[in-house]
Amino acid sequence: MMKRFEVTDKLGIVVERSVRETGTHEPEHTHDFIELVYTAAGNGTHYINGIPYPARRGDLLFINYGEVHAITVDSTLTFYQFLVKPEFIAENFVNSENIDDIFLLFLPEGAEELQRRKTSCVRFFGAERTEIEHLIANMHKEAEEKKPCHRFVLNGYMQLLFSKLIRALMESSATYADRAQLLTEEILAYLDEHFTGPVTADALAKHCFYNPAYLGRVFKAVYGKSLKEYIRERRMEYAAELLSDGKLSVDEVIERVGYTGKGQFYKHFYAHFGTSPGKF
């Protein structure tokens, strides 16, 4: 099955937020456009030309035009899709000093001696992940609101996202391994699953077999914030999601995200969003 690039906006950039429910499957297909996919929540697997790429929060996937793509979902998967025509690269990067790297990005995997792209997926950690998610949120907002000059702004954002992808794909495997070793998948998974509960450095260290003091230093070095600050931000993100859904009262949201009292929740919420939960 071939998916066609259909967009009425002359800019030729599509930004979409998608949700796939647990157990669903998107069969093999190809497209006549380039697609980037960022996983915001959940777990699943993308298949590109038959190669599996596990997807979880922080993953940015590159799918070249003509490549075979399929998706399976293990737990409700939320992701952002960025679609551009191949001409976007020629128009925005053709004069780049890194044109050789950009050219090699588009070689199919398995191009032997010429191949420098070892994977179609990169994973962002810590402060870098926060930066990417902020960029993506702005892109989605621009695409939805279509304010004056939104085409110009969205084009700039898209260039930045591609630049970050290219840099990450061309990084040495040693650099990636060193960074991944600092904060393992197990730690990230534990935090994402337990941030609404009483997570402490001691509990996390016990679960992951780290010394609590060492874990605290590593977490601060990788994320640029303390474990407590990270958990607070995750709770605020979840609270905003629940409030936007409109199905729960503020009191129910407070309990759902792990707070035992209104005072602290209201204080943290206002500090994070600049408004009260009710007004939000």
Greater pLDDT, 171 or 126 = 126
Q: Where are the domains of the chain?
A: 2-178, 183-273
Supply the pLDDT for residue 246: 83
Whole-number pLDDT of residue 180: 43
Better pLDDT: 276 or 213: 276
pLDDT at position 21 is: 93
Q: What are the Cα distances from residue 226, in Å, to 126, 130, 205, 216, 240?
A: 11, 14, 14, 7, 21
CA 209, 210, 216, 222 torsion-angle sign: negative
Token pair in block for residue 154:
């969205």
More confident residue, 218 or 152: 152
Indicate the fold that domain 2-178 takes in CATH: Jelly Rolls (2.60.120)
| Prediction pTM value | 0.61
| Residue 176 clears pLDDT 50, i.e. is over it | no
Q: What is the DSSP letter of 246?
A: T
The average pLDDT across 45-72 equals: 90
Q: Report how far residue 198's alpha carbon sits from residue 195's, in angstroms, rounded to the nearest whole number.
A: 7
* pLDDT of 165: 86
Question: Is it the case that residue 271 has pLDDT exceeding 50?
Answer: yes
Which three-class secondary structure string do you get for 88-124?
HHHHHHCCCCCHHHHHHHCCCCCCHHHCCCCCCEEEC
**Residues 8-18: what's their mean pLDDT?**
74
Question: Which of 39-48, 52-61, 176-185, 226-235 shows the lowest mean pLDDT across its residues?
Answer: 176-185
DSSP assignment letter at 28: E
pLDDT, tens digit, 9 for 90 and up, residues 258-269:
998 889 999 999
What pLDDT, on a 0 to 100 scale, did the predictor assign at position 79?
95
Question: For residue range 77-134, what is the model confidence (pLDDT) as tens digits?
Answer: 999 999 988 777 767 765 555 545 555 555 444 444 434 456 788 888 777 888 999 9
**Average pLDDT over every residue of 50-64:** 89
Mean pLDDT, the chain, integer: 79
d(CA 180, CA 32): 34
Is the per-residue pLDDT at 7 higher than 70? no
Class of domain 183-273: mainly alpha
Nearest Cα to Cα of residue 142 among 161, 123, 128: 161
Intrachain domains 2-178 and 183-273 with the same fold: no
Predicted local distance difference test score (pLDDT) of residue 211: 67
